């Protein structure tokens, strides 16, 4: 039997944080769970605490080997980018006590890996996640983005494994 790896994908947000858990055996993903963490109305520190606690509970329940998280992208509104960075940090900090490997991917990189274009719409990402994972229902856009992050990492990992020592020639190592 090939090595099974459990990947937790996270799509951070200060209001909604998506999560998706996939098991990969070789390069074949299988769906485990997904959903969103909804932060309450109220103070920003309370919303960050909600993200921190919820992601910690998700990690404790599903015990992933790897976390794949979307990196912060620069938006036109610096305040929004800062809030996104704080939410992302709250989610990441929740994983540190579990000693899990963390990998970051740009939103365009995730879309490219799942849809084939870095400028894909949320609807296109949802459609491809449903198709690739053979889901019977469409996850929310935040959960689909988190599942896409997990798929992106699983595909990157499989590609690196196939390349093996040849990746030195391609200057990928």
> Both tokens of residue 68?
């794949």
Residue with tokens 């939103």: 107
Active site residues: 11, 70, 142
CB 44 within 8 A of CB 79: no
Strands (DSSP E) contained in the chain are 4-11, 16-25, 28-38, 66-70, 101-105
| CA 15/CA 17 separation, integer angstroms | 7
């Amino acid at each position: 039997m090939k090595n099974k790896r459990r990947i937790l994908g996270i799509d951070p947000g200060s209001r909604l944080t998506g999560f998706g858990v996939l098991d990969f055996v070789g390069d074949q993903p299988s769906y485990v769970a997904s959903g969103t963490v909804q932060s309450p109305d109220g103070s920003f520190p309370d919303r960050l605490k909600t993200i921190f606690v919820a992601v910690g509970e998700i990690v404790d329940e599903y015990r992933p080997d790897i976390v794949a998280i979307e990196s912060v992208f620069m938006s036109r509104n610096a305040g929004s980018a800062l809030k996104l960075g704080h939410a992302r940090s709250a989610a990441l900090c929740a994983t540190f006590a579990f000693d899990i490997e963390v990998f970051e991917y740009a939103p365009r990189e995730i879309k490219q890996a799942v849809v084939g274009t870095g400028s894909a719409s949320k609807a296109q990402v949802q459609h491809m996640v449903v198709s690739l994972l053979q889901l019977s229902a469409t996850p929310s856009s935040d959960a689909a983005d988190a599942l896409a992050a997990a798929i992106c990492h699983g595909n990157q990992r499989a590609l690196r494994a196939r390349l093996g020592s040849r990746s030195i020639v391609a200057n990928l190592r």
